[in-house]
A and B are shown apart, each in its own frame.
Chain A
Amino acid sequence: MKLINLLKIAYRSLSKNKLRVLLTMLGIIIGVASVIAMLAIGQGSKENIQTSMASLGINSVMIYPGSTNQGGVRMGAGSYSTLTLKDVDAINSKCDYITDVSPVVSKSSQVIAGNQNWHTNVVGGLNQYFKIRDLTVSVGSSFSATDEHTAAKVCVIGQTVSTNLFGENANPVGKFIRINSIPFKVVGLLAVKGQNTFGQDQDDIIIAPFSTVMKRMLSTLYLNSILASAKSENDIDNAKSQISTIIRIQHKLTPADQDDFTVRSQADIAKTFESISNVMTILLACIASISLLVGGIGIMNIMLVSVTERTREIGIRMAVGAKSRDVLFQFIIESIFISVLGGLIGIVLGILIAFLVSYFGKWPVVITGTSILLSFLFSSVVGIFFGWYPAKKASNLNPIDALRFE
């Protein structure tokens, strides 16, 4: 049997049954496309979490007042007033595993520049705050130690604040703004960071020297939080436990007392989110597998439904001299064609859907080779198997039984 003849036979058969070919392909297309699109969305959100976590400064350690695991009425971390500058000094002098530490205070404030006004969070921190949070100043500079000492009315602003007060692409450095009626000089503009994992705009912020915010804007001795950064990733856990010990001593807590503060690392939060997004990826993979399965059943159905007609066709072919392997070869070529073409269209469609989602839904997507390979292989195997199997059965019949098949 000449290969060219078998190819011709398969081609003729395909071109004569366009509807059947199309329906079978549709099952494969939908299966492959949905798997690729869904896994792209899942993977995208996962990687988004990872990168935005890293952008917060992966080695940073945060200390909040109040405990998260107190019994009875539970108040969120941060709603207590237990941390003071003394704690910062203690950590600074006694903790071996950190490089930088900064107290943090903040106040939600009204900001005015000219006839524009904006509401944002004003954070007071030391110069180290920038380092710990991995913030860089793109225009101008951050404030100096002298500014800290003199409680200078200077600040560094985020891009969102700048845009809202001074307009797009304006250079805010050297201009004056009024925060709660106090005039501040803008000395720097932060590099754009975008949204964080929680969807917060990280560029909607004003940072001023700690002493300025503490003395001029707040009348309190207590801190919102303390921010520190561990020497390296491996020191995070040591830093956390040592900080706990230091503050417990500092707060004169007996062993029976619970912590009146919470120490958390960026890595802890990242881990939590990673596990959440892992669950999401698994969920999406489940949905995708189901759609692949449904697609597979679709392929199977259309293949099996056409078996009556095709068994008679096989009978006719065998009656005029086709061998079993000729028939099988024809059916395998047909199903390979359908599966591969359907699979390829599915891949293109899946990628397209993923891009549309990322474009219109502003949702990050990452298309992985695994998802493409997996869905393509699965649908091909299903398609080829259900093309081959009924043909295998029919070609083992006597021609007359195939012709009589009902």
Chain B
Amino acid sequence: MDIDNNLICVKDLVKTYKMGDMQVFALRNVTLNIEKGAFVAIMGPSGSGKSTFMNVIGCLDYPTSGEYYIDNENVFKLNKDRLAELRNKKIGFIFQSFNILARTSAIENVELPMLYNSGIDTKERKERALAALKSVGLAERAFHMPNQLSGGQQQRVAIARSLVNNPLVIMADEPTGNLDTRSSYEIMEIFQKLNDKGITIVMVTHEMDIAQFARTNILFRDGKIVSNSEVIDRKIATDEIKNLPILDVNEVLT
């Protein structure tokens, strides 16, 4: 296994679910290396195992068998506490359903990972949370509650939360699944900026045009990787947003 140049090395990952007598294979011997600085989009039909794969490499779930190294650490040999530290310091995870704390302001949500990171004092925590919110364009919404924010804004809070501990990799499972085109592109713009700064990004998406913002596309089918290809004609989000048609209210009304 080529650990040295790769941030993520996955070998023979198998995940089965028991449904009564039946065994459902969610992952069948998945082997994959992801380099530092990569921007990978994972695609594939529904039920092909994308989320299962993401949860395993995001250290949120255990596989049935297989090996997994992240940043040269043998993940499945770590105890639960070390795994929690890994999630805290090296991985930023973004969910399709946002998963931010209800009745908790944007800034407090973003502060959350830092509360579980003892190296950061109160002053630094506030500053970094605010900076993260600023980087996703939500500085002026810092003290809004989730129910006062749009879906796209909530997802940006989740992104701010995922990057606030300066992770090596951001993993996102359908981050734009609940969002309209403009919001989706805005998220891609953030991802591309983060990627340009050297942060590795792995995301799952159903949409071809979203996958075009990544550098590499991986295709899952039946719990296996069936293709792994460079993106030709990669799209740049900043440009795409400029080209989006601006909805003219007068035009619609007439």
A interface list, Cβ under 8 A from B: 1-2, 5, 8-9, 12, 16-17, 309, 312-313, 315-326, 398-401, 403
Contacts and interface: CB of A to CB of B under 8 A. Distances in A.
B8 interface: no
B100 A324 contact: no
A12 B55 CA distance: 28
B158 to A, nearest CB: 10
Interface string B49-63: 000000100101110
Interface of B: 55, 58, 60-62, 80-81, 84-85, 87-89, 93, 95, 99-104, 108, 112-113, 115-118, 161, 165
- Among A9, A321, A323, the most chain B Cβ lie within 10 Å of the Cβ of A321
Contact of A16 (B100, B104, B112): B104
A9 to B, nearest CB: 6
Contacts of A2: 118
Contact of A322 (B84, B102, B118, B165): B84
Contacts of A320: 87-88, 93, 112-113, 116, 161
B104 A321 contact: no
Given A1-B116, A326-B84, 18 more contacts: A5-B116, A12-B104, A17-B103, A312-B99, A313-B101, A316-B99, A316-B112, A318-B84, A319-B93, A320-B88, A320-B93, A320-B161, A322-B88, A323-B84, A323-B116, A399-B60, A400-B55, A400-B61
Contacts of B93: 319-320
Contacts of A321: 84-85, 87-89, 113, 116-117, 165
A312 B104 CA distance: 14
A203 to B, nearest CB: 64
25 contacts: A1-B118, A5-B116, A9-B115, A12-B104, A12-B108, A309-B102, A313-B101, A316-B101, A317-B112, A318-B87, A319-B87, A320-B161, A321-B84, A321-B87, A321-B88, A322-B84, A323-B116, A398-B60, A399-B60, A399-B61, A399-B87, A400-B55, A400-B60, A401-B61, A403-B60
A312 B85 CA distance: 19
A1 B118 CA distance: 5
B131 to A, nearest CB: 17
A8 B60 contact: no
Nearest to A325: B81
Contacts of A318: 84, 87
Contacts of A5: 115-116, 118
Contacts of B101: 313, 316
A340 to B, nearest CB: 23
A326 B81 CA distance: 10
Contacts of A313: 101
A323 B80 contact: yes
Nearest to A309: B102
A319 B60 contact: yes
Contacts of A9: 115
Contacts of B104: 12, 16
B82 to A, nearest CB: 9
Nearest to A399: B60
Contacts of B115: 5, 8-9
A209 to B, nearest CB: 84
Nearest to A18: B103
A346 to B, nearest CB: 27
A324 B99 contact: no
A398 B63 CA distance: 11
A56 to B, nearest CB: 65
A8 B101 CA distance: 15
B108 A403 contact: no
Contacts of B55: 400
Contacts of A315: 99
A311 to B, nearest CB: 12
Contacts of B85: 321, 323
A325 B61 CA distance: 18
Contacts of B89: 321
